[in-house]
Structure 1
Amino acid sequence: MALQARKDFKVVLKRKYFNPNLSRRQNISNGCAKRIPAPQWVWLLNHWKSDEGQLKSEKNKATRALQLNSRHTTRSRSNAVVLDQLELKEGRQIGRAELYVATHTRKDEKPIDDYSNDKIDEIRRKFDEDPSLIAEETHDNDFFSTLFPKERSGRRCGLGLLSGGATSGRIFEALVEMQEVREENKKLWSAVQMLMSNQAKLQQQYDELKSEVSAPERCPSIESSPIVNPGSPDHLQSMNGDNQADSVSHPKKKHEIQLEETRNTVLPCLGKTKSKIPQRTHHQK
C-alpha cells in the first residue's frame, strides 16, 4: 500500500512539475513547489532524463496501450469514491454504466482513448433508447455486464485446488510426493540415529580395551623385589612350606613335578654359595 502511494506520488510530480522539453538545469530551477526535498527532486530529474528512465517510460506506455479499458481519469480516487461524489452531486442513484462514462471522460468532455470512445457512444445510445438503464441496479445480467462481459478462457487462474483448473492435478501430485519425501526422511533420520548410537557404544568399548592394553602389568620389578639368599635356611624352609602346602592342595603328579623343579633350582644355588664362602673368609682375614 505504501509502495503504491509512493508510485502515485511520483506520477503526480512528473505530470505536474516535470517538462521533458526543458533541460535538466531548467527543471531543477523550476523546482517542485517544495513537495519533496531538493536532493530527491534532483535524483528524480536525473532518472527521468536518463536513457534508462526514458526507455522504461516508453515501455510502460506501450504496455498500457495494449491493455484495453485500463486507463481512467480518476487518478488516485477509487470508483467507490467517485460514485459517492456523483450521487451526492446528482441526488440520485448512479448506475455502473453511467459511472464508466464519468471515469473515462476528460474535463473537455472527450473520451480518454478510442476504446473508451466506442464504449461511451454505445452507452449513450442505449440510454437514449431506454432511460431506465441510467440508474439501473447492479446485478449479474445488467447493462454494464452485457457491455463488458467477463473474459473466460480455457485455463483458469488462481489456486488450482480451489478453482479446479488444469493445475489442480499437478499441485495434488506435488503434495503427495512431498508427503512421501517427508516419510522417507523420517525413516532415514531414525536409521542415522541408530547408527550414531551404535557408534557411541563401539567407541566406548574401544576406549575400555585400549585402557586395558595400555595399562602396565602388575608384577614386582627386579629392583623393588627383596633379595633372597637361595642358600639361607629361611628361604629353604619357606620353599619347603610352600611345597608342603602345594602337596596338600594339588594332585600327586603335580607335586612330583614341583619337587623336581625345586631340586633343579636349589642345588645349583647351593653349589655357587659353597664356592663363594672361602673367598669371603679369606677376604675378611
Structure 2
Amino acid sequence: MEFQHELIIPNEGLPFKIFLFEGGHGNYEREKHWHTSIEIFAVLKGGLTFFLNDEEYPLEAGGLIIINSNEIHSIHAPGKNETVVLQIPLKQFEKYFTAQRFIRFTSAARVAKDRKNKAPDNRKLAFFIEELYKAYRAKEEGWEYRTMALYYNILYLMVRDYRETEAAQEEIQDSRRLDALSKITSYMREHYTEEMKLSDMAALFGYSDAYLSRMFKKYAKINFKAYLQEIRMSYAYRELSNTEKTISQIALDNGFASSRAFSREFQKKYGDLPSELRQKLAVIR
C-alpha cells in the first residue's frame, strides 16, 4: 500500500484544526495518505482535484468535499486557489456511529455522479466553515464563543444533512484494517509526554512487538519511534510558537530527554534551532 498516515493535531485550545490549504500557490500535489479525523475542504477561490480510491472529484470555487476517517486520498492543485480546511477528530461523532468507530459522510461532489441520490446543499456548510476560519484568524473579543458556536453549527449540519445512515459491510471491513492503528496513534497523542516503548504499546493493545512494528511500517510508512517523535515535535513546535516557555521547559514538557536532544531533532526537521525559529517568529509578529 503506497500511502502514508497523516498526523493531525488540533489548534491550540480548540477541539478541531482549521487552516488555509498549503497548496494555495498551485503547482502542488499531495500524495496518497489517510488520517483518523474527518476532513472538509471548502474552496473559496480557484480550484483543485481530489482522488478518493482512484475516483476523480474536481472542485471549483464554492465547492466542498468531505473526506471520511481512514479514507485514502490525494490532492492535485495545478493552479492558485484559496481553500479552507477543517479537520474534526472522529470522536466528536461517537454518538452517531453506525458501527464500532465507524461513520460516513457524503457531499455534493461525491454524489454528483449518482443521479438517484439528492446532493445536500453545500452553501450553508461552506458559509459556516468560511466564517469559522475568519473568526479564528481575527481573534476579536469573545472569539472563543464565536468559533465554538460556528463549529457546533457545522457538526449539526453534518449529522443532519450529510451523514449516511447505512454502510456496506465491505466498506466497514475496509475501514477496520486501518482502525486498529488509528486507536494506537490516538492513544499515543494523548500520552505522548509519558515514557513510551514499543513493547509497552504492543502489550497494551494485545500485539507482539514484531507485529506492531510491521503495522507501523506497512500503514504509517514510518517506524514506531519516529512516529512518536513526530507527535512530540509537533506539539513542541506549537508551544514554541504560541507560548513564552523556555526551550528547556518545552523540551521536558513534550517528552524529550533534554533541551539538547530537542534542539538537535528540531534542527533536523525544521532547519533551524528552536531559538532561531523563535527569533524569526518574533520579527514576523
Larger helix proportion, structure 1 or 2? 1
The one of the two structures with greater contact order (alpha-carbon pairs below 8 A, sep at least 6) is 2
Q: What TM-score do the two structures reach when normalised by structure 2?
A: 0.22
